[in-house]
Amino acid sequence: MGRVGQVTKRIVNINYLGGSHGAFLKYFVDKFSKLTPDITEMPFLSNGTSHSLKVQYSGMVERHTFEDMYGSPRNSYICPNKGEPQIVVTIDEKALMNFTRLAFTRKDDHELVSTTIDQQPLKNRVLLSDHFIKLYGQKFIDMYKIDIKDTKSVPYPVIRDLLKIIFLDTHQNRWLSSSRKILENIGEKTVCISLSEIWNTDLFMSKMKEVNDRLDLQLDLDEDAITIHKEFLEHRVNHSTWNRVFDIIESIKKKINTNCSQLDLVEQGYINAWLEKNHNFIQTPLTRNFFADTNEINEYIEYYPNHYKAMNPNMPTFNKIANPFYLWEKQK
């Protein structure tokens, strides 16, 4: 929303998939461009979004989502306001784990309708949000014969398995697939920024310099801009454990014993996907409890029986050869 009574002219459009920080980018450009009035308010809410209604925006920076809240495309993944300067946020594979984790752990606000999965340790079940149920209801029927519209919750191993599938085949991942479609429609006056760049202060500031040079936004990229970006990172949900899952994977590789008891279900699903991608013929167990530590994970890999080893139906290829047991193909 622009200031009351102010006639505005757009200087740039911010285009993104929901949840990929389009609101923060709008705030950053609007605050630090010399073409717009100064902004004194901070945008951050307690759930980590930049959706504060207290911010007085100029109206000269617009943001648009490529999809509606149900994942259906808007304008065929084409940026609106053709011919105007555009910034496009893309979701890259490196950022997929933490983007997925944000999607399933970040709480609602006045704008965000979340897809939270609420772990309930005493019941060993996961309570599913209404929006999660709407988005994934049919998938649970197809994969597990569970109607989550009735149950409203599922056991731990079921949600962990779904998350593993989300991470296993990046070609089928809906967020990465949408990003590929977006990149097919990029115009000349467009600068793309990946989530990995948004989540790293040095990379972000470098990309903002490119935005500045190419789109002539007259951004004042001083120490205040760096401070605001670092504050944005600190407000992220899961910020304190952002790299935990990657540290666990390094421990597995180096055979250093590390406790896994604090990992959430998204992290557990990611590790199970990593194990299956990196160890031929091994499938992770569908059990209530996750591995206690990395020693247990390495024992599972080392002693996995030869007579159980077979082509993994979750993997599309093996040694670059099409997998005839691939479940996605069977579901078509």
pLDDT of residue 52: 98
| Helix 294-302 and helix 265-278, axial crossing angle in degrees, nearest 10 | 30
pLDDT of residue 171: 85
Domains of the chain: 12-94+172-240 (3.40.50), 98-163 (no CATH), 243-331 (no CATH)
Cβ neighbour number for residue 245 with a 10 Å cutoff = 22
Check if the beta carbon of residue 140 is closer than 8 Å to that of residue 146: yes
Cα separation values, 16 from 24, 91, 97, 311, Å: 11, 9, 18, 37
CA torsion angle for 78, 113, 245, 155 (degrees, to 10)?
-120
pLDDT of residue 332: 44
Can you name the residues that pair with 89 across neighbouring β-strands? Answer: 193
Q: What is the pTM assigned to this prediction?
A: 0.92
Region of residue 95 (phi > 0: left; psi between -120 and 50: alpha; otherwise: beta): alpha
Check if the beta carbon of residue 197 is closer than 8 Å to that of residue 178: no
If you search the block for the tokens 């159980």, which residue do you land on?
308
Q: What CA–CA distance (Å, rounded) separates 198 from 98?
A: 12
Going from the first residue of the chain to its last (332 residues), give the mean pLDDT of each consecutive group of 10, the final group possibly shorter.
59 98 98 97 97 97 97 95 96 97 96 93 90 96 96 96 93 94 94 98 98 97 98 97 98 98 97 94 94 98 89 72 62 48
